[in-house]
A and B are shown apart, each in its own frame.
Chain A
Amino acid sequence: MPRRAPSRLLAFGLAAVLAAGSASGSDLHDLYFGEALFHADQGHYFDALQRLDTELGQYHGLDEPQYDSLHYHIGAAEFDVGDFELNYRMHHRAGRAIRAVLEGNVDPAVRNEAAFRLARIHFQKDQPEDALHALERIEGEVPDAIADEVEFLRANVYMALGRPADAVEVLADLQRSESLTGFAEYNLGIALLQDGRTPDAIEQLDRAGRVASGERGAEAIRDKANLILGTMLFEAADYQRAYESLDRVRLEGPFSNQALLRAGWAEVSAGNFERALVPWNILAKREVTDSAVQEALLAAPFAYGKLEIHGRAALMYGHALEAYTSELDRVDASIDSIRKGKFLKALLREELKQDRDWVIRLRTLPETPETYYLMALMASHDFQTALSNYLDLEDLRTRLVSWQTNFDAFEDMIELRKQNYDPLLPEVDADFRELDSQIRLRMEQREHLDKRLQGMLTAPRPDYLATADERIVSERLDEIERHLGNSTTPETQALQERVAHVRGALTWRLRTQYHERLTEAHTHLNELSVVIAAMTERYQSLVRTRQAATHSYVGYDVPINQLRRRVGEALQKVNLLMARQGHMLETVAINELKVRRERLDGYQTQARFAVADSYDRAARLQADMRPDGAQTGEVQPDETQPAGVQPGEGQQ
Chain B
Amino acid sequence: MPGIFRTVALAVFVLASSLPARAVDNDREQMKGLDEQVQEVKSDVLGISAELSRLEEKLLYPSNTQVAVFIALAEGDAMRLDAVQVQIDGQLVAHYIYSFKELDALKHGGVQRIYAGNVTTGEHKIDVSVTGKLQGGADYNQAGSFAFQKGVEPKLVGLTLAGPDSGRPAIEIGDW
Contact = CB atoms under 8 A, between A and B. Distances in A.
Contact of A179 (B2, B14, B28, B110): B2
Contacts of B97: none
A137 B136 CA distance: 51
Interface in A536-572: 541, 544, 548, 551-552, 556, 559-560, 563, 566-567, 570
Contact of A88 (B27, B42, B72, B156): B42
Contact of B45 (A14, A379, A400): A400
Contacts of B121: 541
Interface stretch (A17-25, A459-467, A638-646): A17-25
Nearest to A146: B1
B38 A124 contact: no
B59 A389 contact: no
A570 B2 CA distance: 38
B109 A20 contact: yes
Nearest to B59: A410
Contacts of A29: 176
B125 interface: no
A384 to B, nearest CB: 9
Interface in A123-179: 123-124, 145-146, 149, 152-153, 156, 179
Interface in B31-63: 31, 34-46, 48-56, 58-59, 62
Given A220-B10, A577-B38, A379 B27 contact: no
B64 interface: yes
Nearest to B8: A124
A570 B101 CA distance: 30
A595 B22 contact: yes
B91 interface: no
Contacts of A560: 55
B106 interface: yes
A399 interface: yes
Contacts of B83: none
A23 B6 contact: no
Interface in B106-163: 106, 108-113, 121, 152, 156, 158, 160
B96 interface: no
B92 interface: no
B24 to A, nearest CB: 8
B84 interface: no
Contact of A50 (B9, B50, B74): B50
A38 B110 contact: yes
A450 interface: no
B39 A93 contact: yes
A584 interface: yes
Contact of A217 (B7, B34, B105): B7
A573 interface: yes
A224 B14 contact: yes
Contacts of A42: 101-102, 104-105, 110
B167 interface: no
A69 B70 CA distance: 15
A257 to B, nearest CB: 13
B108 A41 contact: yes
Nearest to A571: B45
Contact of A652 (B20, B31, B51, B109): B20
Contacts of B5: 120, 123-124, 153, 156
A188 to B, nearest CB: 12
Contact of A385 (B4, B8, B35, B110): B35
A123 B46 CA distance: 25
Most buried by B among A3, A24, A584: A24
A15 B50 CA distance: 21
Interface stretch (A5-13, A275-283, A317-325, A509-517): A5-13
Interface residues of B, number: 75
B111 A38 contact: yes
A37 B36 contact: no
Contacts of A183: 2, 6, 9-10
Interface in A379-417: 379-382, 385-386, 389, 392-393, 396, 399-400, 403, 406, 410, 413-414
Given A34-B72, A88-B42, A566-B48, A14 B34 contact: no
A379 B22 contact: no
A24 B42 contact: no
A569 to B, nearest CB: 8
Given A34-B70, A224-B10, A573 B41 contact: yes
Given A25-B74, A30-B176, A382-B31, A92 B36 contact: yes
A221 B10 contact: yes
A9 B102 CA distance: 17
B105 A563 contact: no
A2 interface: yes
Contacts of A592: 20
A430 B3 CA distance: 66
B62 A548 contact: yes
A427 B13 CA distance: 76
Contacts of B44: 566, 570, 573
Contact of A581 (B1, B34, B48, B160): B34
A249 B76 CA distance: 37
B150 to A, nearest CB: 13
B22 A9 contact: no
A300 B18 CA distance: 24
Given A34-B110, A41-B108, A552-B59, A386 B31 contact: yes
B9 A17 contact: no
Nearest to A18: B1
Nearest to B3: A14
A237 B147 CA distance: 79
Given A548-B64, A551-B58, A573-B41, A389 B75 contact: no
Contacts of B55: 410, 556, 559-560, 563
A34 B2 contact: no
Interface in A427-466: none
Contact of A25 (B11, B54, B109, B113): B109
Interface in A571-602: 573-574, 577, 580-581, 584, 587-588, 591-592, 595
Contacts of B45: 46, 396, 399-400, 570, 574
A486 interface: no
A566 B5 CA distance: 36
A379 B18 contact: yes
A93 B88 CA distance: 41
Nearest to B33: A580
A54 interface: yes
Given A548-B64, A574-B41, A587 B27 contact: yes
Interface of B: 1-11, 13-15, 17-20, 22-23, 27-28, 30-31, 34-46, 48-56, 58-59, 62, 64-65, 68, 70, 72-76, 101-102, 104-106, 108-113, 121, 152, 156, 158, 160, 176
- 3 tightest Cβ-Cβ pairs between the two chains A and B: A25-B75, A34-B111, A24-B109
27 contacts: A9-B1, A28-B111, A30-B176, A34-B109, A41-B101, A42-B104, A46-B42, A46-B49, A50-B53, A88-B42, A90-B39, A92-B40, A93-B39, A146-B1, A152-B6, A380-B18, A382-B27, A393-B38, A393-B41, A396-B42, A400-B45, A551-B58, A556-B59, A573-B41, A577-B34, A580-B34, A652-B20
Given A50-B49, A587-B27, 7 more contacts: A34-B109, A43-B101, A389-B34, A406-B52, A566-B44, A584-B30, A652-B20
